[in-house]
Every structure is written in structure tokens, then in C-alpha cells.
């Protein structure tokens, strides 16, 4: 295994091909949960966790059930990947919720509402599908999933920090709240565009 490949995947997923800024996935929590630093951080942690788990399980399902070359059936079922991935992500989140509720009630209380929300987060499905498109192997998929989650958290927490400041700043009445948040999001996307120059 090549560690430099993994390093490039990490840097690429966090900064260059950031899921929110570059791929426009998971925009709903990006705007919805970025009002407070605490909740943004909680959501970010939950997303990192679920993305890593989802990358693992969806890669396994794709490899052993859907892909013609490696499948145990020997038939090309790749057209089923979206529905199969959605199914497995939903089950995974449910399962994780149960485990956390049993083993770490404090963590469950902290993540509480965000865990079920992640089921419908398109960034999680996105990372699973992109792993397949990029033809990553098992380890690379997991690393990519974790790194994508970190990238999501980074942007979410940055946004929350800016929006907390915005609450106290003098904003024209017509721009207050959502409009200024969208402008800030656009500026952030522009700033992150600077990373795109770094081609490996």
C-alpha cells in the first residue's frame, strides 16, 4: 500500500474536493446546523463517524454483491448500487444509534438528534458512490470516507464560527439571517477554490 496515495486522498478530500464547497453535497446541514458552534461540532463528529462506517460497508457490498468481476454471483448488478447503498446507510445509522444508546448514553445525548438526520444526508451517499467511481480499494475507501467527514466538519465549524460573529455584526436589515449566510458560503467556496490550483 502506498502511503503517499492515502495522504493525497486525505488532503484532496479535506481541502480540494471538499464535499460541501466543491461538490455541493450536504448543503442542508451546512446551512441548517451551522448556527451554533457546539451543535456544528457535534454534527461534524457524527458525520465523520457515519461516513467512515458507510464507506466501509458500502465498499464491501459493492465488491461482493454488485460488481461483476468480484461478485459472488458473477453478474453485473452495479445499476443497483444507489438503492443498495441507501438501504445499507439507513440500516447502519440505525444500528450505530442503538449501539451508542446502549454503550455511551452521554454521547447518545450529545449526538441525539443529529444521528437520524444523517441518514438522509446526501454527502454520505455521495462518498460511497465516489469511492466506487474513483475505483478506490478497501483501505483507500475508508480513508476517503473519514477524510470527507473531516472536510465536512471543517467547513461546518468554520461556517458556524462566522455565523456566530455575524449575529453581533451590523448587517443591513434586508440581508439579515439567511441572505448574508448564503453570501458568506459563496465567499468560503471562492476561498476554497484557491486549493484547486494544487494539482497532484
Partner 1 sequence: MLLVSIIVLSVLGILFGIALSFASKVFHVEIDPKIEQIEEVLPGANCGACAYPGCAAYAEAIVVSGADPTLCAPGGHDVALQIAKIMGTKASKKERKIAVIHCQSGGINNTNIKFENKGIATCQASILLSNGQNACTYGCLGYNDCYRVCPFDAISIDENNMRIIDDDKCTGCGKCVEACPRNLIELVPISKKVHIQCKSYDKGKDAKVKCGNKTACIGCGLCVKKCPVDAITLENNLATINYGKCVSCGLCATVCPTKAIEDRIKIRPQPIIIEEKCIGCTICAKKCPVNAIDGEVKKVHKIDEEKCIQCGICIDVCPKKAIETKS
CA distance 33 to 86: 22
**What sign has the CA pseudo-torsion 35, 37, 42, 43?**
positive
Q: Does 102 bind partner 1 (CB under 8 A)?
A: yes
Which of 31, 37, 67, 101 forms a contact with partner 1 (CB under 8 A)? 101
Q: Does 70 bind partner 1 (CB under 8 A)?
A: no
Q: Does 83 bind partner 1 (CB under 8 A)?
A: yes
Q: Which stretch binds partner 1 (CB under 8 A): 35-43, 44-52, 75-83, 183-191?
A: 75-83
CA distance 79 to 67: 10
Q: Does 35 bind partner 1 (CB under 8 A)?
A: no
Which of 39, 88, 131, 141 forms a contact with partner 1 (CB under 8 A)? 88
DSSP, res 40 = H
CA distance 60 to 125: 14
Which of 87, 139, 187, 193 forms a contact with partner 1 (CB under 8 A)? 87
95/182 with CB nearer partner 1:
95
Output the DSSP codes for 42-58.
HHHHHHHHHHHHHHHHH
Output the DSSP codes for 2-31.
-HHHHHHHHHIIIIIT-TTTTT--SHHHHH
Q: How far is the CB of 11 from partner 1 (least distance, A)?
A: 34
First to last CA, the chain: 18
Q: Which stretch binds partner 1 (CB under 8 A): 30-38, 85-93, 113-121, 159-167?
A: 85-93
Which of 28, 60, 75, 113 forms a contact with partner 1 (CB under 8 A)? 75
Place of cell 437520524: 116
Cell numbers standing for residue 36:
451554533
Which of 11, 37, 45, 80 forms a contact with partner 1 (CB under 8 A)? 80
Count of residues near partner 1 by CB under 8 A: 21
Q: How far is the CB of 88 from partner 1 (least distance, A)?
A: 7
CA distance 62 to 81: 7
| Residue numbers at the binding site for partner 1 (CB under 8 A) | 61, 65-66, 73, 75, 77, 79-80, 83-84, 87-88, 91, 94-95, 98-99, 101-103, 105
Amino acid at each position: 500500500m502506498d502511503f503517499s496515495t492515502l495522504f493525497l486522498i486525505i488532503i484532496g478530500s479535506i481541502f480540494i474536493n471538499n464535499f460541501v464547497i466543491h461538490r455541493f453535497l450536504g448543503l442542508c446541514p451546512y446551512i441548517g446546523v451551522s448556527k451554533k458552534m457546539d451543535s456544528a461540532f457535534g454534527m461534524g463528529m457524527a458525520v465523520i463517524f457515519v461516513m467512515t462506517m458507510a464507506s466501509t460497508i458500502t465498499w464491501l457490498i459493492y465488491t461482493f454483491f454488485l460488481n461483476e468481476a468480484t461478485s459472488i454471483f458473477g453478474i453485473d448488478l452495479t445499476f443497483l448500487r444507489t438503492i443498495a447503498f441507501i438501504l445499507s446507510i439507513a440500516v447502519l445509522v440505525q444500528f450505530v444509534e442503538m449501539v451508542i444508546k446502549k454503550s455511551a448514553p452521554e454521547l447518545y445525548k450529545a449526538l441525539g438528534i443529529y444521528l437520524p438526520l444523517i441518514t438522509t444526508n446526501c454527502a454520505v451517499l455521495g462518498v460511497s458512490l465516489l469511492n466506487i467511481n474513483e475505483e478506490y480499494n478497501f483501505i483507500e475507501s475508508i480513508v476517503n470516507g473519514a477524510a470527507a467527514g473531516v472536510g465536512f466538519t471543517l467547513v461546518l465549524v468554520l461556517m458556524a464560527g462566522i455565523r456566530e460573529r455575524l449575529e453581533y455584526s451590523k448587517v443591513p436589515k434586508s440581508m439579515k439571517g439567511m441572505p448574508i449566510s448564503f453570501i458568506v458560503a459563496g465567499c468560503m467556496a471562492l476561498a476554497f477554490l484557491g486549493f484547486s490550483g494544487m494539482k497532484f
